[in-house]
Protein backbone atom coordinates (compact mmCIF):
# COMPACT_ATOMS: atom_id res chain seq x y z
CA UNK A 1 0.00 0.00 0.00
CA UNK A 2 1.18 3.48 -0.84
CA UNK A 3 0.52 6.29 1.62
CA UNK A 4 0.21 9.84 0.38
CA UNK A 5 0.18 13.01 2.42
CA UNK A 6 0.08 16.73 1.87
CA UNK A 7 -0.98 17.88 -1.57
CA UNK A 8 -1.53 15.79 -4.68
CA UNK A 9 -1.28 18.51 -7.28
CA UNK A 10 0.66 19.72 -10.32
CA UNK A 11 3.90 19.71 -8.33
CA UNK A 12 3.61 16.28 -6.71
CA UNK A 13 1.62 14.38 -9.37
CA UNK A 14 4.65 13.42 -11.53
CA UNK A 15 6.42 11.85 -8.52
CA UNK A 16 3.22 10.00 -7.59
CA UNK A 17 2.89 8.59 -11.12
CA UNK A 18 6.53 7.54 -11.12
CA UNK A 19 6.19 5.82 -7.74
CA UNK A 20 3.12 3.87 -8.85
CA UNK A 21 4.78 2.92 -12.14
CA UNK A 22 7.84 1.65 -10.25
CA UNK A 23 5.69 -0.46 -7.91
CA UNK A 24 3.87 -1.96 -10.90
CA UNK A 25 7.08 -2.57 -12.86
CA UNK A 26 8.45 -4.41 -9.82
CA UNK A 27 5.68 -6.99 -10.15
CA UNK A 28 2.93 -5.54 -7.96
CA UNK A 29 0.14 -4.50 -10.35
CA UNK A 30 -2.44 -4.29 -7.55
CA UNK A 31 -1.96 -0.98 -5.78
CA UNK A 32 -3.89 0.53 -2.89
CA UNK A 33 -3.31 4.22 -2.23
CA UNK A 34 -4.10 5.56 1.24
CA UNK A 35 -5.23 9.19 1.00
CA UNK A 36 -6.35 10.05 4.53
CA UNK A 37 -3.52 12.56 4.95
CA UNK A 38 -3.94 14.27 1.58
CA UNK A 39 -5.23 17.75 2.37
CA UNK A 40 -5.58 18.96 -1.22
CA UNK A 41 -6.26 17.29 -4.58
CA UNK A 42 -6.50 19.21 -7.86
CA UNK A 43 -7.03 18.25 -11.49
CA UNK A 44 -3.38 17.22 -11.86
CA UNK A 45 -3.78 14.91 -8.88
CA UNK A 46 -6.96 13.47 -10.39
CA UNK A 47 -5.11 12.90 -13.64
CA UNK A 48 -2.32 11.15 -11.77
CA UNK A 49 -4.79 8.84 -10.03
CA UNK A 50 -6.57 7.98 -13.28
CA UNK A 51 -3.25 7.50 -15.07
CA UNK A 52 -2.05 5.22 -12.30
CA UNK A 53 -5.29 3.23 -12.56
CA UNK A 54 -4.73 2.83 -16.31
CA UNK A 55 -1.12 1.73 -15.76
CA UNK A 56 -2.21 -0.83 -13.17
CA UNK A 57 -4.97 -2.22 -15.35
CA UNK A 58 -2.68 -2.49 -18.37
CA UNK A 59 -0.42 -4.64 -16.18
CA UNK A 60 -3.37 -6.89 -15.25
CA UNK A 61 -3.93 -5.25 -11.87
CA UNK A 62 -5.99 -2.52 -10.29
CA UNK A 63 -5.67 0.67 -8.25
CA UNK A 64 -7.85 1.35 -5.24
CA UNK A 65 -8.22 4.32 -2.93
CA UNK A 66 -8.25 3.80 0.82
CA UNK A 67 -9.53 6.27 3.42
CA UNK A 68 -9.76 9.42 1.29
CA UNK A 69 -9.78 12.64 3.29
CA UNK A 70 -12.96 14.72 3.22
CA UNK A 71 -11.50 17.13 0.64
CA UNK A 72 -10.31 14.28 -1.60
CA UNK A 73 -13.67 12.50 -1.38
CA UNK A 74 -15.47 15.74 -2.31
CA UNK A 75 -13.23 16.30 -5.37
CA UNK A 76 -13.65 12.68 -6.47
CA UNK A 77 -17.42 12.98 -6.18
CA UNK A 78 -17.68 16.39 -7.91
CA UNK A 79 -15.58 15.14 -10.82
CA UNK A 80 -17.43 11.79 -10.99
CA UNK A 81 -14.08 10.02 -10.69
CA UNK A 82 -15.60 8.20 -7.70
CA UNK A 83 -17.46 6.12 -10.32
CA UNK A 84 -14.12 4.93 -11.74
CA UNK A 85 -11.94 4.81 -8.61
CA UNK A 86 -13.77 3.06 -5.84
CA UNK A 87 -12.96 4.23 -2.32
CA UNK A 88 -12.57 1.92 0.64
CA UNK A 89 -12.78 2.76 4.34
CA UNK A 90 -9.20 1.67 5.01
CA UNK A 91 -6.27 -0.16 3.49
CA UNK A 92 -7.29 -3.53 4.84
CA UNK A 93 -10.69 -3.30 3.17
CA UNK A 94 -9.12 -2.11 -0.09
CA UNK A 95 -6.90 -5.17 -0.40
CA UNK A 96 -9.09 -7.76 1.34
CA UNK A 97 -10.29 -9.57 -1.78
CA UNK A 98 -6.81 -9.53 -3.30
CA UNK A 99 -5.38 -11.63 -0.49
Q: What is the pLDDT along the chain (99 residues), one digit of tens a residue?
A: 899 999 999 999 999 999 999 999 999 999 999 999 999 999 999 999 999 999 999 999 999 999 999 999 999 999 999 999 989 999 999 999 886
Cα distances from 82 to residues 25, 40, 56, 63, 86, in angstroms, run 26, 16, 17, 12, 6
pLDDT of residue 99: 65
In angstroms, how far apart are the furthest CA atoms of the chain? 34
- Torsion 96-57-20-38 (CA) sign: negative
Alpha carbon 10 to its chain centroid, in Å, reads 15
> Which phi and psi angles does 65 have, rounded to 5°?
-105, 130
Model confidence, pTM? 0.93
Amino acid sequence: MLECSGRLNMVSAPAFRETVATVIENGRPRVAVELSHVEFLDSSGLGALVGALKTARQAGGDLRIAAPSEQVAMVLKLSNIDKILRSYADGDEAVREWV
